[in-house]
Each structure stands twice: as structure tokens, then as C-alpha cells.
Structure 1
Amino acid sequence: MKTFYAVAGFIYGTILASYAGMLAYRLPRNETVIRGRSHCETCGRVLSWWELLPVLGFILARGKCRYCGQEIPLRYPLTEILLGLISAWLLAANHFSLTYLRGMIILTLALAAALSDLEKRVIPDQVSITLAVAGVFLWWLDGRWLEPLAGAMLALPLTLLAFIYPQSMGGGDAKFMPALAAALGVAAGAEALSFAFILGGALALALKLKGRYLDGLPLAPFLFTGVVFALLH
């Protein structure tokens, strides 16, 4: 039975990762996420249904658009496999429960934020709002309606820091962190934020020691990593 949950979880995870990739691509470009067929980013040709299959579509298309030959970014199948494995772990451990549902919603939206931040250096407000609303609703279903409020308060000092000292982080980060902490709750939110800032700080320090300088590291990928750490350890 555990194998069934792991396989089902992997499939669900790849589908949700594909959806996260779509959000990350369309929202910063002000494109609709409700309707409209996915298309090649280079030639604009509409993709066939089998090309949209998570992981398999990339393999069947041999990693290229079959119309113009443009290579498909490797981040798509890699993120699908990654979230598939995380989903398999969570479903095998929690089965079809509110814990699993909450975890996958948070991971999907956090992944969308991370991909968008990496490509466009922006976290769409729609992602933060959806995460906050979903987090409050799911905690309410669990009978713990104060948990998201306490989680959001946990991230409030970081949000205030962003507005007082804008050079510390972007406005999208300042909105996304309270939403993320609200959805995770106090304990997991504290773990995710702490892990993200420790990891991000360590990387920034390592780059500085090597004489390399980046004009601000995108924070959302570290926050996504923090969510993974908080949910799996």
C-alpha cells in the first residue's frame, strides 16, 4: 500500500509542478492562467496534449520544440521530478489527509514563486494572496484558526524591515513571507524562514569570499527550500 501512495504522490507532484511552472511563466507576463493553451516560448505554436505530460512530454519531444527545434529549459522536467519525489514522500507518510493537501498547496505556490523570482526577479501578488487565503481556510478546516494569524505575526518583523530598509529585500518577498508563514503555521513557518535565511546567508558569504558579487540573491528559491525542509524533516 505504501508503494501505491508513493507512486500516486509522484504523479500528483509532477502535475502540480507543471502547474507551478505555468503560473511562474504567465503571471509575471500578465497572461491568464484560467484559459488558453500552452505554447512554445520561442515560436508560439500551441503544444499537443502529449507534450504537456509532466516529464514524459519532455522525453517524448527529446527536449526540443518539434516545430522550431528550440530546446526546452531543463528546469521544467527537473522541477517536476523534484516535486514528484517530495509529494511521494508526503503522501506515503500522511496518506490522503489535510496535512498532505496543505503541504502540496504550499509547495506548489512556493515553487511558482521561486521559479518566477529566478526568471523575472518578481513574486506575483496573486501567488501570495492565494497562499494566504488557502492557508487560512485549511487551518480553519483543521479547527486551528489562530495558527495562520500567529504564523503571519512571526514574519511581520521581516516584512517591516523590508519597508524600512528596502535594500534588504524586495517588496514581493515582504508580501510573500507572511503568507507563507500563515499557511505553514508557527512551528513550520519558523523552521522554513530560519532555514531559508541561513542557507541564503551562507551562499552570499561564500560568493563574497570568492570575490563574486550578485546584485541581490532571489529569496523565493531559498524560501521554497525552507518549506521542503520544514515539511519533510
Structure 2
Amino acid sequence: MKEVIKILAYLLVIAYGLVIGSFLNVCVYRIPLNQSIVYPPSNCTNCNSKLKWNDLIPIFSYIFLKGKCRYCGSKISMRYPIQELLTAIIFVATYIQYGFSLYFIKFVILFCFLIVISNIDIKFQDVYSVTTIPGIVIGTIFAAAEKYLYSSSLGNYLLGAILAGGIISIVVYSTGAMGKGDIEIALLCGMFIGWKYSLIMIILSFVSGGIIGVLLIAFKIKGRKDYIAFGPFLALGTLLVIFFGNNILNWYLQMFF
């Protein structure tokens, strides 16, 4: 019986992740256009036909429709099912790591913000405050909830936001190599993960950003003077510390202390 319940729990998390992933697709498309993310209902971006429920089943609708709109035949971007699947995978991984707990809810909400922010940053090289400020507020609420429920330190998260945002601010204003929106992303991440993990997150972000940047230039996908969105690397660093933060911290302490 326990195994059945366990399987059902996983299926529920997967289904939840797929549905949320579909909603995040809407956010990524509409936020840069300054459109409402709840109204009007979903429609084809090419012919504007209102989509029915059977056009909106995550991943499966894309497969059944062979990647085309049933009304005008225009091609549907692979980005939509990929993001739905990615969101479901992240949700399941978070559930495996934290179970159904406050931390599960907290981190899947953070990942939702980061998925939207990263996609928009990659596509438009821009960060919208509507995707960062609400996240920072929600992160503060979770920090307060942890202090009340688990006697966690609220200062840990506040310092995390200050450190992460402060370090990125120094880079932004001293070099101009990054955008001001990256400061907001760093504040958001720091508010969710605390100061120790924020330091690790920043290091991982710069390392991964440097490696990917070199590869993009080496394969001539980007030029030396082209802008490379840094938001996704802050998101990647945050994801890594959420899943492997303790291991990384223990390895660092063993290596240098």
C-alpha cells in the first residue's frame, strides 16, 4: 500500500509540474509583451484561434498535433514541451530531495520564477521587475515562516540577499559587464537560500558562465563583444546549491581547512 501511495505521489508531482510548466510558457511569452498572464485564454500566436482544452494538455497535445496548430498548421516551438518536461523533472527532483514539506513548496516556487526569468533573459536579454520583486517578497514570507515554524534565522536569508545582490552590484557598477536586472535576480536567489549558499551560488554562476561563454565564442555562436545573458547562470548556481549545497560545502571545507 505504501508503494502505491508513493507512486501516486510521484505521478501527482509530475502532473503538477507539467501543468505549471505549461503556465510558465504563457508567462514567458506574455510578460515581455506587457500582457496579462491570466486573460485572455490561450490562443495560437499565429492565427489567434482560441485553443481548446485538448490543445493544452502538456506534452501530449504537442505530440498528437505533431507540433503544429490544428487551426492554421503553423509550427509550434519545441520550447513549449521542453519547458513543460523540464519543470516536471525539477519538481520531481525537489520532491525526492525534500519530500512534501515547506522546503518543497518554497523551492518549486523559486524555480518557477527562475525558469521564467531565465527564458526571458535568454530571448530578450532583459529582466522584468514583475518577475523578480514578487519573488523577493515571497522569499521574505518563507523566511519569516521558517523562523516561526523551525526557529530558523531570518537574518540568514536577509544577509543572503544582501551579499548576493551586493556582489553582483559591484560587478555591474564597476565593470558594466552585467545588467542591473542581474542584481534583482541575485537578491531573489539570496533571499531563498541564505548567505552561505549565496556565496557558493555566486562562485558557481561565474564559473559556469565563464565556461559556457568560452564555448559559445569558440563555436562562433556568440562574438567576443556579444551580450550573454547571466540570469540563467545565477539560476543554475542556485539550482546546484539547493540540490548539492551541503556536499559542495563539505568538500570545500575538507579541501581548504
TM-score by length of 1: 0.91
1:10 aligns with 2:20: no
Which 4+ runs in 1 deviate beyond 4 A? 209-212
Deviates more, 1:150-159 or 1:210-219: 210-219
Spell out, residue by residue over 1:28-75, the C-alpha distance to the aligned partner (whole angstroms, 9 max, x if none): 110012321111111111211222222122123221111111111111
TM-superposed CA distance for 1:162, in Å, is: 1.1
Letter in 1 for 2:99: H
TM-superposed CA distance for 1:104, in Å, is: 0.3
Deviates more, 1:143-152 or 1:185-194: 185-194
1:196 aligns with 2:237: no
Structure 2 counterpart of 1:72, from 52, 76, 92: 76
**Counterparts of 1:189 and 1:59, CA distance in 2:** 40
TM-superposed CA distance for 1:203, in Å, is: 1.5
Spell out, residue by residue over 1:64-91, the C-alpha distance to the aligned partner (whole angstroms, 9 max, x if none): 1111111111111111111211211221
1:161 is aligned to 171
Whether contact under 8 Å (2:28, 2:120) holds in the other structure is yes
**Counterparts of 2:75 and 2:186, CA distance in 1:** 34
1:62 aligns with 2:72: no
Secondary structure in structure 1 of the residue aligned to 2:47: coil
Structure 2 counterpart of 1:216, from 216, 224, 227: 227
Letter in 2 for 1:175: E
Q: 1:15 to 1:185 in 2, by over 3 A?
A: farther
Q: 1:41 to 1:191 in 2, by over 3 A?
A: farther
Spell out, residue by residue over 1:146-194, the C-alpha distance to the aligned partner (whole angstroms, 9 max, x if none): 232111112112123213432x111222222112211222233333332
1:205 is aligned to 214
Q: 1:210 to 1:90 in 2, by over 3 A?
A: closer
Letter in 2 for 1:192: M
1:232 is aligned to 243
TM-score by length of 2: 0.83
1:141 is aligned to 145
Which fold has the larger relative contact order, with Cα–Cα distance below 8 Å and residues 6 or more apart in sequence?
Answer: 1
**Counterparts of 1:210 and 1:93, CA distance in 2:** 36
Task: For structure 1, list consecutive stretches of 5 or more residues without a partner in the other structure.
Answer: none
Q: 1:191 to 1:14 in 2, by over 3 A?
A: farther
1:32 is aligned to 36
What's the % identity of the aligned pairs? Answer: 25
**Counterparts of 1:160 and 1:117, CA distance in 2:** 20
**Counterparts of 1:6 and 1:191, CA distance in 2:** 30
1:125 aligns with 2:129: yes
Whether contact under 8 Å (1:2, 1:92) holds in the other structure is no
2:194 is aligned to 185
Letter in 1 for 2:39: R
**Counterparts of 2:233 and 2:32, CA distance in 1:** 20
Bigger Cα Rg: 2
Q: 1:99 to 1:43 in 2, by over 3 A?
A: same
Whether contact under 8 Å (1:9, 1:92) holds in the other structure is no
1:48 is aligned to 52
1:175 is aligned to 184
Q: 1:85 to 1:207 in 2, by over 3 A?
A: closer
TM-superposed CA distance for 1:3, in Å, is: 2.6
Q: 1:115 to 1:139 in 2, by over 3 A?
A: same
Letter in 1 for 2:180: G
**Counterparts of 2:62 and 2:183, CA distance in 1:** 35
* Root-mean-square deviation over aligned CA pairs: 1.8
Letter in 2 for 1:117: D
Secondary structure in structure 2 of the residue aligned to 1:185: helix
